[in-house]
């Protein structure tokens, strides 16, 4: 892998890449401190997908979309089961924003034209 960010990507993909990296970094810290759960693993997989997207690999986009959708579903289930408060709601908004950025029309057009 040669780069962490691709400045030629549309703003939606650049923002999704940064958000995926931040979530992945926080998740890695949580894993190192002993918190191993499915959401942490999904965050790391999302960050790996973002790295692949930055290096113009189409499969990275699909990995990021699938893992972001899993994050959103797990977050919704967790919020519903544990009756999450404001922190759970903020997490849901972040998961939804990441998925929305990845599925945005500009992101999909860039994928169709430029990623191999």
Give the integer Cα–Cα distance in Å for 27 and 50. 15
Q: How many domains does the chain have?
A: 1
Q: Does residue 6 sit within a domain?
A: no
Q: Does residue 96 sit within a domain?
A: yes
Q: Does residue 25 sit within a domain?
A: yes
Report in angstroms the alpha-carbon separations of 107 from 32, 88, 116: 32, 27, 14
Q: Does residue 108 sit within a domain?
A: yes
pLDDT at 19: 93
Question: Each residue of 41-64: pLDDT tens digit?
Answer: 888 899 999 999 999 899 999 999
Query: Against a cut of 0.95, is the pTM above it?
Result: no
Q: Does residue 4 sit within a domain?
A: no
Range of the domain at 91: 11-113
Total residue count of the chain as it appears in this document: 116
Q: Does residue 2 sit within a domain?
A: no
């Amino acid at each position: 892998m040669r780069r962490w960010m691709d400045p030629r990507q549309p703003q939606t993909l650049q923002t999704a890449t940064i958000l995926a990296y931040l979530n992945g970094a926080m998740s890695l810290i949580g894993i190192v401190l002993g918190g191993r759960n499915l959401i942490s693993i999904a965050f790391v997989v999302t960050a790996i997908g973002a790295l692949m997207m930055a290096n113009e690999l189409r499969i990275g986009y699909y990995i990021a979309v699938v893992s972001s959708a899993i994050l959103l579903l797990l977050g919704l289930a967790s919020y519903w089961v544990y009756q999450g408060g404001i922190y759970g709601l903020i997490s849901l908004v972040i998961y939804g924003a990441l998925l929305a950025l990845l599925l945005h029309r500009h992101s999909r057009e860039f994928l169709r034209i430029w990623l191999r």
